[in-house]
Amino acid sequence: MLFERYREVIPDWNAFQESIQSRDPTTIRVRTGRISSSDLIVRLVDQGFLVEEIQGVPRFIRVLDGPFNVADTIEHWLGLFYVQQVSTGLAALALRPNPGEHILDLCAAPGGKTTQIADLMQDRGCLVAVDRNEGRLQALLGNLYRLAHTNVMVVSGDGLRLPETVVFDRVLVDAPCSAEGTLRRKSTRRVKESVKFRNSVPRRQEALLRKAIALTRPGGVVLYSTCTFAPEENEEVIDAVLKDEPVYLEKIDLQVPHDSGLTSFEGKSFDPSLERACRIYPHHLNSGGFFMARLRHRGTGAQTSESKGLVWDRASVLFPGEEKPLDHAIEVTKNGIERMRRHVSVGIDLESDFQWLLRGKDLWLHNCCDWPSSDWFEGDRCRVLSVGLRAMSPVFRDEMRPTNDVLRFLENYVSSVSYRLDAIEWKKLLEREDIPVSISDSGFIALKWKDHVLGRGLVHKGTLRTEIPGVRGRWLKKVFAITRSSETGSSD
């Protein structure tokens, strides 16, 4: 029987076995900085979806039924929610991030927990998201831009090689693991292969956890998590660091069914405090399997704020690693902000509400008031890929224009010329057809669907075309096709 080795430690074995026989229902997390849970529920119900809020896990909604895949809704395209297993959503809640803090996500891609942490931080402070897999980092970047998070610095590099010259208030180690808890979404072949994987992965898990502790300030928090049941990757890893690291386990206050961590398994005994860790089995939330342990950094008398590197660098107007004269960067940034002011209304102060920086010829908008010191970005240990959102890019004769991402992000403040299209007109535009418009002036324009800005268009000689990039444009075309098909079917 699958997972037989865990029979003695899973209290409700029959419920566990029954739960893993079927795929778990889709769950989504609301992007609360842009829409409320109640408003999103109304919009999904109006489209024919049957949904329910998940008790004990704020901002998570379970999709019970619907006319099509909820990932193909315009709300998902707009970044109003993120498709995420509810079990994995417990990690960010247990980390308990606060606005304005310095937080590190040591194994960040593809971004479910990263974006949830940013949401809980209300996009204030600095969240450094690190991963060594550049392919997965592209998925992370896409999610950050779609959800429009402005306080995240994305770093490509091995977390084990990060300099220890700054420390963080909180660090998440969502460690690579054998992924047994994802059984309901993956094949049993993956689980069987994980036995071999389990022989090597605990060494990296322990190394990452020790690195996280070294990067955490005295009194700070480290949250260790995996999506596996294996004690070798969970309790045994925690037990090892408790022996010689300046940390202790804290109890995690969860408002959902769960089991305590193990204090022994197959003849091995673990630190008694591991009872404070949490095990989530598939039957607890009708979701995946998950493990969490929350560690508090004790600190020592020798670890003062100065010796632990608590002074961060103030965010510069130059992208990390960018080599340009500072005066030039300040001038370009000032001119870019002035140009951006032509397109937004009162109610937002572009200079005081955001930080700005220059990368190449592009201007980026973000909310990181400070970031790790410059030695982080020297050599080949890590490389910054992104800070916030790319806001403005030069076009003809280096004239700056707002990007698609920033127009969506600032849609409530866009005051420049906009054009509202229906689904049929959008279909034509996305098929690269130019459509006639009664606008005399040529130039860029904000394109709307209902009350949302979807992106940027260009008016030239009385015709309009879209400037939404190819991948996003093809996805949007699919969304309108599915939505229109569903509406037509429901009216017959």
The catalytic residue positions are 227
CB 258 within 8 A of CB 278: yes
The C-alpha atoms of residue 450 and residue 421 are separated, in whole angstroms, by 8
Sheet holding 435-436, edge to edge: 418-420, 443-449, 452-460, 463-466, 435-436
> No. of H helices and E strands in the chain?
14, 27
First to last CA, the chain: 48
Amino acid identity at 265 = F
CA distance readout (Å), 120 to 38, 95, 291: 18, 10, 21
The SS3 assignment for 340 reads helix
Q: β-pairing, 102-105 with 168-174? A: parallel
Total residues found in the chain within this entry: 492
The C-alpha atoms of residue 230 and residue 417 are separated, in whole angstroms, by 57
DSSP string, 74-135: HHHHHTSEEE--TTTTHHHHHH---TT-EEEETT-TT-HHHHHHHHHTTT-SEEEEEES-HH
CB 207 within 8 A of CB 240: no
Residue 158 is encoded by which pair of tokens? 């091995």
Q: β-pairing, 278-280 with 268-269? A: unpaired
The SS3 assignment for 381 reads coil
Amino acid identity at 221 = V
Closest Cα partner for 223 from 379, 106, 353, 375? 106
Closest Cα partner for 332 from 347, 346, 319, 345? 319
Locate the DSSP E strands across 350-403.
355-359, 362-366, 370-371, 382-387, 389-394, 400-402
